[in-house]
Amino acid sequence: MTFVSWFKKVSLFIIALFLMSCASSLYEYSQSENYSHRVKFLVMHYTGADFNTSLTRLTQKGEASAHYLLPAQDDPSYPNNTLKIIQLVDEQYRALHAGPSFWQGRNELNDHAIGIEIVNTPTCHAPELNTALQQHNSASKLCIYPDYDAEQIALLIELSKAILERNPDIGPTQVVGHADIAPSRENDPGPRFPWYQLYQAGIGAWYDNETVEKYWQHFSVVKPSIVLMQKALRDYGYNVQPSNQLTPQTLDTLNAFQMHFLPWHVSGDADARTASVLFALLEKYFPEKVAQLMQQYHQAQKRSTKPIKPLVNAQVIARVPAVNPSSRALVNDRGTFRAYRGHGELIIENDDAISADIYINGEKINIADPLTHQQLYQYSLAKRTRNGVNTFKVENVMPEGAGLTLRFPYPTLSNRQSTHINFDAVDELINDEINNGFPGAVLAVVKHGQIIKLSQYGDAKKYHSDGTLLAKPQKMQADTLFDIASNSKMFATNFALMRLASEGKLDVEKPLTNYLPEFRGNGREQRTVKDLLTHRAGFPAVVDFHRKDNKLGERFFSQNSVRTKNLLLTGVPFIAGRNVAHIYSDIDYMLLGILVERLSGQSLDSYVESHIYRPLGLTHTVYNPLQKGFVKQQIAATELQGNTRGGRIEFNNIRTDVLQGQVHDEKAYYSFDGVAGHAGLFSTASDLSVLAQVLLNGGGYANKQLFTAQVLEQFIAPQPTNQTYGLGWRRAGHQARKWHFGPYASPQAYGHTGWTGTVTVIDPTYDLAIILLTNARHTPVEGGDIHYEFAGKKFETGKYGSVISLIYEAILNH
């Protein structure tokens, strides 16, 4: 180096130092308190692809990006033996991971969020959708979600804790999923993501169960309005516009909320459970907001013009002396009650009487003398009652001005099989057919408050899936559960609707849109609840949602309960005008099942199990029995090769093994997760006998009233357009349905049938109920590829009418 060049370099360095010293003298730093961090949110994603594909997509120019990528242990494309956190973008920079998004008042969360992509690969199907639904509606996709890798989640927790420490503006409710900030586009990180595990590690938000219970006490009785739910979701952070309509945006948001906080209950419904969790979260993290919402909730309750009618806890409740007596002296303090010979009970609530004379069927009964003030008395009427209508009369209540309250519970069933009525012809027919190949049956006959016959025949399961006989068939038992198919319409959906109507929550004459606001367009506004019950709404008999090749096209393909309900409410077209004809349709009862859920704030199975079956002590009447403690050996089998009709039918995810414990009906199983208004209920002959006795009693059992006699009469009354239709119930009419009711049933008899081989008959004229449960479809399928039938349906037992006829003959000829 020459002296000249060295001198030039030293000179330049001295000049640079001089300039820097001059520049620094122009600045002085003074800390302001008015600033915030760029990062406000932490967003969790799944990649939807393996590690190698994900890394390529997240690092290629023009693609998306994220700040971090977490591999999975079992991913063959991941090159390392131990999991490592892959940082793709420095936290101070903006990564492109969120897309169009919204949370807590902020749009475009890429500007404010750190994104973590986690390798996890669900399998999703999103067919072409109805135009009423959004093209990328998350609720419309059918996805199978794998569990997250435990080691991967441990790494995620470690990373998230460090991010939160570096970015103190990220609070618990700012740790969100991609589905939370873009619910109409995205599902990730999906319902398998362990949000609660992260919460336990100090990451993100969760609710307190005690608070959920507090709100459940309100919302299980009267759930919040749609607009209040929309406001609550928006107050928590979601992008929902309050409209009091279940818009696609609202449905998507509910779906995203449930995936985050109720992953075991992803229904898309604004039900009481979801509302309770949402309000519990608001109370924990936004207490001032929940206070305002609850004030609106209570104000709405005060404005309600239709209070719930309390149901009574007895068949007859009589206050004596009468509060407003008639001027005709001998009509006061008298009445009737239903009972059976050798059964019956009287409960007396004494206010302040000392003595009284009480007569049952004209005979004075012995009661305590003197009566004790404010005492409850219980007396058996077994020696006084007769079958059918009984009378009571009360006189001489002393001292004058004192009073009593008399309660007569509803009749209950006793199991005293008759040795006097000869059912040999019935047994001979069924046993002969069992010997000739019919699989099995259970028969219950109820008469005058007694199960006079309860018999089992044949096998609950006798075939392998290939049609060969089992070496040791599973014998039928009296308490075997059956898939009762369309009898679900009556003993689940109709029972629920009759109860809701009795409580004043439902008026069947009103349009369905009064209760389901999104049920609009193309004449839907004119369809009443009654139109659905009488099958006169004009819907097609069936839509095979579970098949892509259904008659309405692939856009009506759905193997997802939320999407199916959306299609039913907004998309299924009519094939006939309103009230033009009776078209027996599963669509009608699918919608009625949704109506029960909307009115009750519970899923259909939860509602009927908690409000109908359990109060009656029925433990063997359930949806999805294998999920509720039952095993296959307790349940009658149905089709041999799944839903294939002996290999003749094929569609996505079709079952191919012997069906036992899963609902056979394809739409109920694939498109409703096993719980639907038209099918899905399992029960036993004994449990159904109790439900039949409820009907014969006029709506109650023991000290439980399920619905009023007036509502029951409304539901079973014949329709003027067709005497064989009630509201849902099918009627004998004038022998118009002999194949179902036989030739002897009274015109007042009603009941239903089920595709799997079940039939029910309730005949008030004879105080009679018949329950025949068979597994007729548990037989090989015979015939060609187009015209075929189950071998079991060739037998008289599987055709119903002959067995019913023989039962009537045994009783009427006795």
**Pairwise CA distance, residues 563 & 125, whole Å:** 12
**Pairwise CA distance, residues 416 & 257, whole Å:** 53
Which member of 117, 283, 433, 639 is catalytic? 117
For 127, the token pair is 């067919």
Q: How many CB atoms lie within 10 A of CB 300?
A: 14
Q: Half-sphere exposure (CA, 13 Å, Cβ side) for 515?
A: 25
- Return the CA Rg of the chain: 34
Q: Is 774 exposed, middle or buried (0-12, 13-18, 19+ CB in 10 A)?
A: buried
Instruction: Transcribe 282-346 into DSSP letters.
Output: HHHH-HHHHHHHHHHHHHHHHH-S-PPPPPPSSSEEEEES-SS--SSGGGTTEEEEEE-TT--EE
Q: Say if CB 612 and CB 495 are below 8 A apart.
A: yes
Q: At what angle do helices 272-285 and 226-236 cross, to 10 degrees?
A: 40
- CA 167, distance to chain mean position in Å, is 42
Closest CA to 180 of 84, 256, 66, 261: 256
Tallying the residues shown for the chain, one arrives at 814
Is 345 among the residues known to form the active site? no
Q: Say if CB 698 and CB 712 are below 8 A apart.
A: yes
Q: Is 736 exposed, middle or buried (0-12, 13-18, 19+ CB in 10 A)?
A: middle
Peptide bond into 189 cis (omega under 30): yes
Q: How many CB atoms lie within 10 A of CB 713?
A: 12
Q: Say if CB 314 and CB 698 are below 8 A apart.
A: no
Quote the Cα angle for 752-758-759, to 5°.
40
Helix (H, G, I), strand (E, B) or coil at 533: helix
Q: Say if CB 130 and CB 557 are below 8 A apart.
A: no
Give the 3-state DSSP-derived string for 484-512, with helices as H, strands as E and coil as C: CHHHHHHHHHHHHHHHHHHCCCCCCCCEH
Mention every residue, 6+ apart, whose C-beta is less than 8 A from residue 527. 511, 512, 513, 519, 537, 538, 578
Biggest alpha carbon–alpha carbon distance for the chain:
139
**Pairwise CA distance, residues 654 & 546, whole Å:** 9
Instruction: Transcribe 669-693 into DSSP letters.
Output: HHHHTT--SSS-EEE-HHHHHHHHH
> What sign has the CA pseudo-torsion 372, 377, 380, 385?
positive
Question: What percent helix, strand, coil does the chain show, rounded to 5?
Answer: 35, 20, 45
Quote the Cα angle for 20-23-26, to 5°.
150
Q: Which residues are catalytic?
A: 117
